[in-house]
Structure 1
Amino acid sequence: MRFDWPALMRAGLSGLALRPDQFWTLTPAELRLMLGDAARVPPMDRSRLDALIAAFPDKRKESENDRL
């Protein structure tokens, strides 16, 4: 996904009247929400959750009993 930075900066700095420090501390999701685009983002479904689980598996901490 590529960002159209000039358009995003115009929307944030001019359209939303954000200060530069406010604009640059926003996440893309926060900026989309402020611009009213959040409704177009579909909710997470099972296949996306499975992809995230595969990409970022939980790691089991080794306990003292596991070493014995």
Structure 2
Amino acid sequence: MNAPGGPAPETALSAFPWDAVLTLGLSTLRWRPRDLWAATPRELASAAGLIRPRTLALGRADLDRLLAAHPDPEEPR
């Protein structure tokens, strides 16, 4: 246990990729510095294309409605 006011214990942490974030925000996205610094990590990841919106699959009722609205032709064309 460390004494109060003493040095923090050393831990193995990977460095944050500041160069990559700055290049993405300032060069690739051409954001203003204040906008880059105001962005959340999720906003940065989304702007980088790392987060994609989730799409829901059609349910059976939706598929049945589509099939009824657009039936296959009886005879091939």
TM-score of the superposed pair, with normalisation by structure 1: 0.52
RMSD over aligned CA atoms reads: 1.4
Name the one with the larger helix percent.
1
Distance, in Å, in 2 between the alignment partners of 1:7 and 1:32 is 12
Q: Which has the larger radius of gyration?
A: 2
> Which of the numbers 11, 17, 20 marks the counterpart of 2:33?
20
> Secondary structure of the residue that 1:3 maps to in structure 2?
coil
Structure 1: stretches of 5+ with no match in the other structure: 40-68
Which protein, 1 or 2, shows the higher relative CO under an 8 Å CA cutoff with sep ≥ 6?
1
Instruction: Return structure 1 stretches of 4+ with deviation > 3 angstroms.
Output: none
Structure 2 counterparts to residues 2-41 of structure 1, below 5 A: 2-39=15-52
Distance, in Å, in 1 between the alignment partners of 2:36 and 2:17 is 14
Q: By how many angstroms is 1:2 displaced?
A: 4.4
| Aligned length, in residue pairs | 39
Question: Identity of counterpart residues, as a percentage?
Answer: 38
> Secondary structure of the residue that 1:38 maps to in structure 2?
coil
Structure 2: stretches of 5+ with no match in the other structure: 1-13, 53-77
Q: 1:2 to 1:28 in 2, by over 3 A?
A: farther
